[in-house]
Amino acid sequence: SAVISQKPSRDICQRGTSLTIQCQVDSQVTMMFWYRQQPGQSLTLIATANQGSEATYESGFVIDKFPISRPNLTFSTLTVSNMSPEDSSIYLCSVEEGQGPYEQYFGPGTRLTVT
């Protein structure tokens, strides 16, 4: 399975600032996903990122708040913009692998605290 790394692993940020989270995969993958896990909650899909096209956002998430880049088949970034304490969460990227069935593998996550 793919090995996924994320940077930073954690950060504490002030409200009103932005943070860019990086996701690096050790193999080329078509589909990458970004999830949010709020404290005590389960995971919610933010958006799907395909290389060479605009990210597709889920209901409740907008590009101005969570811009995503996908410059190649092994890398993606998620920016959390104009942060507020409500953005304090773990942010995880995942990739889809396989010829079918498609299994998703997750990175270790980025723990963000906004003060």
Give dist(CA 10, CA 2) in Å, integer.
Answer: 22
Quote the radius of gyration of the chain (alpha carbons, Å): 13
| Type of residue at 41 | Q
Closer residue to another protein in complex, CB, 73/81:
73
Nearest distance in Å: CB 108, another protein: 4
- Residues 6 or more apart in contact with residue 1 via CB below 8 angstroms: 97, 103, 105
* x/- letters, 67..106, toward another protein (CB under 8 A): -----------------------x-x-x-x----xxxxxx
Considering the rule CB under 8 A, would residue 31 count as an interface residue with another protein?
yes
* x/- letters, 38..67, toward another protein (CB under 8 A): ---xxxxx--x-------------------
User: Between β-strands 43-50 and 56-57, what pairing exists: parallel, antiparallel or unpaired?
Assistant: antiparallel
Q: Tell me if 36 sits within 8 A of 58, measured CB to CB.
A: no
Nearest distance in Å: CB 11, another protein: 14
Could you list the residues that contact another protein (CB under 8 A)?
Answer: 1, 4, 31, 33, 41-45, 48, 90, 92, 94, 96, 101-109, 111
